[in-house]
Amino acid sequence: MIVGGILAGLLGSVLGLGGGVLIIPMLTLVFGVPMREAIGASLVCVIATSSGAASLYVKKRLTDIRLGMTLELATTLGAVVGGVIAGIMRPQILSILFSSLLAYTAWTMLRRKPDGSRGDETRTASNFDNRDGSYNITHLPLGMGASFFAGNISGLLGVGGGIIKVPVMYLLMRVPLKTAVATSNFMIGVTASAGAFVYFSRGEIHPLVAGSTMLGVFFGATLGSRLLPKIKAEYLKKAFVFVLLYLSLEMLFKGLGLHLLF
């Protein structure tokens, strides 16, 4: 599991995915961990990756802490609600929902343009303070609503929810992409923490499963962020779309297969 965690952390940070998307299929499909325990372990891992990456981003002044805090009001509430709902739902349904999230992730990765053409480099980190008016945030109420939904997904399925938050901030609220990524990362830790406590209370955080995976992810992610500037991730990303689609199918079958047995 430690090795699996390292792999998940490494791949996650290189591919720009939160670890959760990879950790949950690994734990449930390879190690046979029950769905909710996998979600609990994944939430803890997500906090680990977020803290590691966020400390780096915060140091580089890419994070908009003020915007992050505001949206966190919505994401934490969403995560708590999501966590509680996950406790009521059948694991099979969670598995099927997770399968669709994987498919969505694959779809966004396929659509994403290569890193070079994002063209957001003109805005530098030094003027990232919304109060100075270097960029104006639009649609805040809608953004809050979307953040609540992102938190919901996070608590329900044990992922960071960056896949929802980044597009919301970037496209809807007109936040520069790099700031959106960094701020989303900053928020993920707090959101996942709120969700994790709900899983704690149900005793669904297995010390050995969560502990070893988290340790692996911690080292994998640290290694990944060091390696990131040195490798070309584009081809890897394209190839990985198929892995995600495959995992999505597997999770779907798992959900449906178990459903038939009961």
Pick between residue 174 and residue 206 the one whose CB is nearest to another protein.
206
Q: Which residue among 17, 21, 22, 80 contacts another protein (CB under 8 A)?
A: 80
Q: Cβ 123 to another protein, closest distance in Å?
A: 18
Please tell me the distance from the alpha carbon of residue 91 to that of residue 181, in angstroms, as a whole number.
Answer: 31
Applying CB under 8 A, does 197 fall inside the site for another protein? yes
Residue with tokens 């009961």: 262
Q: Minimum Å distance from CB 88 to another protein?
A: 15
The answer to the question of residue 203 lying near another protein (CB under 8 A) is yes
Query: Six-digit token pair at 67?
Result: 């915007």
Q: Is 148 in the site for another protein (CB under 8 A)?
A: no
Q: At which residue do the structure tokens 């270097």 appear?
A: 134
Q: Are 225 and 56 in contact, with CB atoms under 8 Å apart?
A: yes
Asked if 194 interacts with another protein (CB under 8 A), we say yes
Retrieve residue 214's tokens.
Answer: 């988290």
Whichever of 19 and 189 has its CB closer to another protein, that residue is 189
Distances (CA, A) of 208 to 42, 205, 216: 13, 9, 12
Quote the CA–CA distance of 237 and 109 in Å, as a whole number.
Answer: 7
Longest dimension (CA), the chain: 59
| Contact between 100 and another protein per CB under 8 A | no
Instruction: Figure out which of the listed residues 8, 24, 44, 150 binds another protein, where binding follows CB under 8 A.
Output: 44
169 touches another protein (CB under 8 A): no
- Does position 70 interact with another protein (CB under 8 A)? The reply is yes
Is residue 182 at the binding interface for another protein, with CB under 8 A as the rule?
no
- Which residue, among 218, 229, 259, has the nearest Cα to 99 in the 3D structure? 259
The answer to whether residue 190 forms part of the interface with another protein (CB under 8 A) is: yes
